[in-house]
Amino acid sequence: VQRAGLEALCNMTMAEEVAERFALGRAENELNIFGAFCTSEVERQQSAATGALAILAGHDEVAVRIADCQQCLQGLLHAVLDSDLPAVEIRAVSAIVSIRRAEGISAETRRAIFSVLQERLSRGGFESLDAQELAEEEIREGS
């Protein structure tokens, strides 16, 4: 039941009305839930949460909210550093790259994201070729 509820909530993030709710700061609890599930030991939960955050981070206003949500940012950074699941890797990398590129993100957060990408690449990179390419591109462009 928990997994089904999480997946339904994640699927709703594709609707513009839902993204607007996040942008306006009316979904702090949902952000914390997504952040917590980024580090779940259940692959489908981790994939759903990182996927939802990747979709939402495509909106600059929501990316700022995600960056300000400690649980979200730490969950995504943890997933980037430690996941060996290609589906989670690409979702988490997509989310943090979108956050790093968004208007209104602090220099400190940008540096933290850059550092995590560098660290993961220095440890051998990603299983996901798409995550690998996106991370390498971000390092090249951001250095």
| pTM of the full structure | 0.91
One-letter amino acid identity for 14?
M
* Domain ranges, residue 97: 2-142
Domain count, the chain: 1
Mean pLDDT of 125-137: 98
Conformational region of residue 16, where left means phi above 0, alpha means psi within -120 to 50, and beta covers everything else: alpha
CATH of the domain at 112: 1.25.10.10
How many Cβ atoms are within 10 Å of 121's Cβ, its own excluded? Answer: 15
Helix locations, 57-128, DSSP H: 60-68, 70-82, 86-101, 107-122
Q: Tell me: the pLDDT tens digits for 5-51? A: 555 455 556 557 777 888 888 889 989 999 999 999 999 889 999 99
Mean pLDDT, the chain, whole residue set: 90
Is residue 88 within 8 Å of 54, Cβ to Cβ? no
One-letter amino acid identity for 43?
E
Q: Tell me: the pLDDT tens digits for 67-111? A: 999 999 999 999 999 999 999 999 999 999 999 999 999 999 999
User: Residue 142: its pLDDT value, please?
Assistant: 82
